[in-house]
């Protein structure tokens, strides 16, 4: 007998190469790559729900998503383990990093349970190659 458990992921990404968070037809997104990677690890289709959306090229220092996983009833599942994070991050591109995975109540929702959203806009006034893609000139 199986039961469905819900997990939250805390991640960060450099959005330069992506058309935002949310899956779109004919455009590469962070959610698409995360879903594919989780599906590989769990050996079945896994879909995430994000706490919001980002536009093309936008970065996220702290972004949350959730996914559901069917596991054998009573089986311990150590998603929080370093081994799982190492495996997940090894399969993701370098510009997407999962920081933490935690099991939550089955009703918890990454988008609707969010209590705060903050956005930062960076502007620089002189050409600086170290600020390219991270600040507006």
What amino acid positions are annotated as catalytic residues?
Answer: 55
Q: Is 13 left (phi over 0), alpha (psi -120 to 50) or beta?
A: beta
Q: Which long-range contacts (CB under 8 A, 24 or more apart) does 22-31 make?
A: 22/50, 22/53, 30/54, 30/60, 30/96, 31/65
The Cα 9–Cα 30 span in angstroms is 13
Angle (CA) 103 17 114, round 5°: 35
- Tokens in use for 89? 């991050």
For residue 115, give Cα distances in angstroms to 52, 64, 109, 112, 118: 12, 12, 11, 8, 10
């Amino acid at each position: 007998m199986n039961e469905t458990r819900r997990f939250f992921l805390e991640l960060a990404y450099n959005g330069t190469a992506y058309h935002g968070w949310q899956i779109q037809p004919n455009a590469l997104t962070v959610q698409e790559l995360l879903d594919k990677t989780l599906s590989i690890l769990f050996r079945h289709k896994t879909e995430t729900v994000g706490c919001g959306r980002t536009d093309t090229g936008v970065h996220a220092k702290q972004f949350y998503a959730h996914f559901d996983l069917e596991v054998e009833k009573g089986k311990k599942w150590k998603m929080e383990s370093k081994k799982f994070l190492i495996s997940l991050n090894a399969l993701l591109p370098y510009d997407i990093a999962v920081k933490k995975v935690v099991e939550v109540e089955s009703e918890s929702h990454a988008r609707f349970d969010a209590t705060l959203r903050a956005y930062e806009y960076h502007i620089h006034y002189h050409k600086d190659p170290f600020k390219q893609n991270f600040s507006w000139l």
